[in-house]
């Protein structure tokens, strides 16, 4: 007999485990709602707290808000995560990113802007092969004015996406209504 596997449903601040209540309340205060991904993370206070802490560090990196979203979108595309692709595409739209760049990221095509293209290429190579593909990619990254510090900080964004993209793979998360309507 094959047993039906339970899919974890997003929790609210009211239904979450005690250790997840405060982080969910802070998330709700920050965004005005609890994204389904965060509500799903809340099944494990360790996972939710780890993700929130890593995201706080990511916000302090040397990348701009647009660059951070570009990195996590490129990683999400490489990891085939529908939830995160929708979420980060919406975030880039809100940051007034070029619709063409957002489409190009989703289709794994080069971006028109050499700096953003270098950033997306490094991200794709890190995610798909867990290494940089070669001297050209690294050289393009540095010619685009990114430093070695930026390169190692990029690992924070990739790590965030490993957590969220893989969760969505093993436990598909419903895309939030605020994102569904924007794409």
112's CB contacts (< 8 A; 6+ apart) are 98, 100, 101, 104
So what's the pLDDT on residue 30? 93
- Averaged in consecutive runs of 10 residues, what is the pLDDT profile of the chain (183 residues)? 77 95 96 96 97 97 98 98 97 96 96 95 90 80 94 95 96 90 56
CATH superfamily of 65-170: AhpD-like (1.20.1290.10)
Q: Where are the domains of the chain?
A: 18-59, 65-170
């Amino acid at each position: 007999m094959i047993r039906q596997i339970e899919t974890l449903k997003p929790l609210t601040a009211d239904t979450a485990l005690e250790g997840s209540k405060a982080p969910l309340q802070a998330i709700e205060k920050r965004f005005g709602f609890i994204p389904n991904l965060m509500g799903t993370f809340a099944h494990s206070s360790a996972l939710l707290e780890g993700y929130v802490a890593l995201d706080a560090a990511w916000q302090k990196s040397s990348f701009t808000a647009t660059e951070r979203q570009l990195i996590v979108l490129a990683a999400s595309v490489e990891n085939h995560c529908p939830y995160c692709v929708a979420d980060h595409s919406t975030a880039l739209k809100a940051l007034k990113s070029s619709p063409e760049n957002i489409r190009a990221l989703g289709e794994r095509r080069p971006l028109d802007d050499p700096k953003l293209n270098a950033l997306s290429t490094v991200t794709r190579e890190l995610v798909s092969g867990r290494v940089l593909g070669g001297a050209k990619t690294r050289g393009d990254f540095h010619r685009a004015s990114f430093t070695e510090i930026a390169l190692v900080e990029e690992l924070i964004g990739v790590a965030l996406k490993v957590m969220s993209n893989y969760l969505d793979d093993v436990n598909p998360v419903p895309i939030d209504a605020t994102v569904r309507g924007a794409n």
